[in-house]
Chain A
Amino acid sequence: MIRVVLPPHLRTLARVDGDVELEVNATVTQRSILDELENRYPMLRGTMRDHVTKLRRPLVRFFVCGEDLSHESPDAPLPQAIAEGSEPFVIIGAIAGG
């Protein structure tokens, strides 16, 4: 079971409280997590990455085990701690005013 932490605005949009738990039946990567997340919560499509290009939106960041992996390949396998659910996959909106 993979745990995903959404930023508050996306939690509201997806109508979830707290962490989201997902099963990913593939190698656990940024892409496979986001694919499953968007499958479960279609209202999140386009909010974290582009509908068509699948590129991350500029002010959205992905953190794993305390590290910012936003600029890593979306297809790079993520650490075992993410696949096991002992650490969450954290999606945040950049602190950028507003």
Chain B
Amino acid sequence: MSKVRVLVGTRKGAFILTADGARKRWKVKGPHFAGWEIYHVKGSAADPNRIYASQTSGWFGQIIQRSDDGGKKWSTPGSSAEELQSPDGMPKGESNKFVYDGIPGTHQWYDGTQHPWEFKRVWHLEPSLNDPEHVYAGVEDAALFESRDGGKSWNELSGLRKHDTGPKWQPGAGGMCLHTILLDPQDPRRIYIAISAAGAFRTDDAGQTWKPINHGLHSQYIPDPTAEVGHCVHRIAMHPSRPDTLFMQKHWDVMRSDDGGDSWREVSGNLPSDFGFPIDVHAHEPETIYVVPIKSDSEHYPPNSRLRVYRSRTGGNEWEALTKGLPQRNCYVNVLRDAMCVDSLEPCGIYFGTTGGQVYGSADGGDSWKPIVRDLPAVLSVEVQTLP
């Protein structure tokens, strides 16, 4: 029988939730890396036992952790006890060395002045679709790095940061983070990324050159609402069978593109608020998408204090509220951009975590929900692995 493994990153550690394919009874393990902020934990599609985690701290900086046994044991790549005995000499201890390529340059600061690029943390880890040793990292201040040796060492794909528009990029409220990395399953040279607050970009040459893909976005909070860059994109999602169709939750507005991001149109439709963070696509229905409306960019909680996931079965515009099993009064949590995911079982399972420490799961495509766990630290990210 199939199993699912949900990987949860929180403000104070990582947790691993497991269940069989029925997804009714759950085991909760953790915290791993107790006391550290775990921005993201994600497994490799090519080897589900290979899992990468971004562990970070305002005191001690960035750490990359890796598991090769499905999350039971972890080590910092290239520094494990075994490798300390290596006949090849001492390990280099570079798994947390994220150094910008060349002179980093400057980007726009909150007050409009230029500010030097400074590495702060890894927001998102995206393992390659076919090589467990190959993994991408989206970082703050915004840049894309990759490792081809299982996380032991990292190199920047600097064509992105050195794009002509770089000096116009600016931090969102959470910092200037590269938070979304989408790998095109049909074209290994095509990658989409998104940055708050610069917008979305696409490469068609495996990261050498990049193009802003923000045509059609309209952001009233920036001086030129239709500028080439400067948009606060919160999240982009793609169904693997239709990699040219992208769904975006922008700061405000839910958007859709059917031409690989070359143009976007709004599909917010009847949502009670089109502000929010995560967006995802049903595993088996490429036109079924999910968002979690949030009241506003200063009130980071659900409208009317009711936690509702909204589902569109029409690729946007027409939305229905999913409320069964979710709190419908006195709810003031947020759901962050990396904190929603779908499994690939039948029926499709949906999961999301809140800043109040709950992780909710639905084993029926969103029709009904149950808390898997209620009292974790604030949840930063949720990923799920569907296992044989």
Contacts and interface: CB of A to CB of B under 8 A. Distances in A.
Interface of A: 7, 9-10, 13, 15, 38-39, 41-48, 51-52, 57, 59-60, 93-94, 96, 98
A45 B99 CA distance: 13
B96 A9 contact: no
21 contacts: A7-B60, A9-B59, A10-B60, A13-B63, A15-B81, A39-B90, A42-B78, A42-B84, A42-B93, A43-B76, A43-B95, A44-B93, A45-B93, A45-B94, A46-B61, A47-B61, A47-B63, A51-B97, A57-B61, A59-B58, A93-B59
A15 B84 CA distance: 13
Contact of A47 (B60, B78, B94): B60
4 pairs of A and B residues whose beta carbons are closest in the complex: A42-B93, A43-B79, A45-B93, A93-B59
B351 interface: no
B36 interface: yes
B60 A43 contact: no
A68 to B, nearest CB: 16
B59 A94 contact: yes
Contacts, number: 61
A54 to B, nearest CB: 13
Interface string B60-95: 111100000000000010110100100000111111
Contacts of B81: 15
A60 B60 contact: yes
Contacts of B95: 43
B273 interface: no
Interface residues of B, number: 23
Contact of B76 (A7, A13, A57, A93): A13
B99 A52 contact: yes
B58 A43 contact: no
Given A46-B62, A96-B59, 11 more contacts: A9-B36, A9-B57, A10-B60, A13-B63, A39-B90, A42-B78, A42-B92, A43-B79, A46-B97, A47-B63, A98-B58
A16 B90 CA distance: 18
B48 interface: no
A57 B60 contact: yes
Contacts of B94: 45, 51
A90 to B, nearest CB: 15
The interface centre, meaning the residue of A7, A44, A60 with most chain B CB atoms within 10 A of its CB, is A44
Contacts of B99: 51-52
Contacts of B79: 41-43
B35 A9 contact: yes
A9 B96 CA distance: 16
Nearest to B95: A43
Nearest to A46: B96
Interface in B17-44: 35-36
Contacts of B59: 7, 9, 57, 59-60, 93-94, 96, 98
